[in-house]
């Protein structure tokens, strides 16, 4: 099998551009694991996947993992699925809890970063560091994806190269539903693809 046949039905002109692209994902939980799978299916050439955590049973309601992944590092578990989708992809796996000084070192080669952290505090320092050290590279964040329904409330807001996906109102105390998390994750992935293609004039 020629793995490039996977992308025969991609948007015309997008395959060669996406194959040369690098997208970073800071976190491989509900947002990051689902976005990584979508980006692999789209034909993105390289993903930088960073997460320190292991798969737990409580992750399975919204993250792209399965019972037999419990106990594995998330980056290792998602690697298996991504390579089975797109064997031509290049993956860089980072198994550590990210700190501000790691960001330019790990993600400096990315064309776009997808923020997929769990806590508001982590999201805050990541955005602040990114906008300070890599202000010319887009970062796509998510906030306000809890609860159920209200799909139409999940929107994109923009400030320079900072994009925010979510309803900007719900919080984690409301609980997390797979469909709503994946909607936000899909918007993040779709926006990353859009930004890369637009930069190439597509």
pTM to 2 decimals?
0.93
Alpha carbons 133 and 126: distance in angstroms, whole number: 11
- Report pLDDT for 147: 64
Token code pair at residue 11? 């948007």
Alpha carbons 28 and 36: distance in angstroms, whole number: 8
Alpha carbons 21 and 18: distance in angstroms, whole number: 5
| Ranges of the chain with pLDDT below 70 | 1, 145, 147, 177
Q: In Å, what is the CA distance from 191 to each residue of 69, 113, 116? A: 29, 11, 14
Helices 30-42 and 178-199 sit at what angle, rounded to 10 degrees? Answer: 40
Name which CATH class applies to 3-199: alpha beta
Question: Which residue reads 């064309």 in tokens?
Answer: 111
- Report pLDDT for 100: 92
- Report pLDDT for 56: 96
Give residue-wise pLDDT tens across range 92-125: 999 999 999 999 999 999 999 999 998 888 899 9
How do the domains of the chain map onto residue ranges?
3-199
CB 30 within 8 A of CB 63: yes
């Amino acid at each position: 099998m020629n793995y490039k046949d996977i992308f025969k039905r991609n948007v015309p002109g997008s395959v060669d551009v996406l194959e040369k692209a690098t997208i970073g994902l800071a976190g491989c939980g509900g947002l990051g694991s689902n976005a990584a799978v979508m980006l692999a299916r789209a034909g993105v050439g390289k993903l930088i996947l960073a997460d320190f955590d292991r798969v737990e049973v409580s992750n399975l309601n919204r993250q792209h993992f399965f019972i037999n992944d419990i106990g594995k590092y998330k980056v290792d578990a998602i690697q298996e699925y991504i390579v089975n989708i797109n064997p031509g992809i290049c993956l860089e796996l980072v198994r550590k809890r990210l700190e501000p000084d790691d960001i330019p070192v790990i993600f400096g080669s990315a064309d776009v970063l997808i923020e997929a952290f769990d806590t508001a505090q982590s999201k805050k320092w990541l955005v602040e560091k990114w906008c300070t050290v890599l202000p010319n590279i887009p970062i796509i964040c998510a906030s306000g994806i809890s609860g159920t329904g209200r799909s139409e409330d999940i929107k994109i807001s923009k400030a320079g190269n900072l994009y925010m996906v979510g309803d900007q109102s719900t919080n984690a105390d409301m609980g997390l539903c797979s469909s709503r998390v994946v909607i936000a994750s899909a918007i993040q992935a779709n926006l990353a693809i859009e930004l890369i293609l637009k930069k190439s004039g597509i």
